[in-house]
């Protein structure tokens, strides 16, 4: 099995063909059914040979298909200081894309 490490959204993901990953929403305005290419490949291992980038591998890419776009569960952000009447509550829902990996090359 061919394995690759890609970087997107400030995070690194270990992926194989057929994997499904949740990545930070990409700025291109992509929607479900679109194809996406990750060109920031840090490592590729095909079982017998391992290639490590410095920091990226030239010409390597991982392609996938966007299955769904959505938002994660709500995270409550609470700021509180006792005895000073200071209390703030905010919520945040992070946008994500669900991507199925099709090919590592």
pLDDT at 29: 82
pLDDT at 34: 95
pLDDT at 35: 95
pTM over 0.75: yes
Give 77's Cβ-side CA count (13 Å radius). Answer: 5
pLDDT 10s digit of each residue in the chain, 105 long?
899 999 999 999 999 999 999 999 988 888 899 999 999 999 999 989 999 999 999 999 999 999 999 999 999 999 999 999 999 999 999 999 999 999 999
Q: Give the sign of the dihedral formed by CA 45, CA 56, CA 37, CA 72.
A: positive
pLDDT at 27: 84
Q: Where in the chain does DSSP place strands (E)?
A: 3-8, 11-16, 20-24, 35-38, 41-45, 50-52, 62-71, 75-81, 86-92, 95-104
pLDDT at 62: 97
């Amino acid at each position: 099995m061919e394995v690759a490490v890609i970087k997107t959204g400030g995070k690194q993901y270990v992926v194989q063909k057929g994997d499904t990953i949740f990545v930070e929403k990409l700025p291109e305005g992509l929607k479900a059914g679109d194809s996406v290419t990750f060109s920031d490949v840090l490592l590729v291992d095909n079982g017998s040979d391992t290639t490590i980038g410095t920091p990226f591998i030239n010409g390597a890419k991982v392609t996938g298909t966007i299955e769904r776009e959505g938002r994660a569960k709500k995270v409550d952000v609470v700021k509180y200081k006792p005895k000073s009447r200071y209390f703030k509550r905010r919520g945040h829902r992070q946008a994500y894309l669900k991507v199925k990996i099709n090919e590592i090359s």
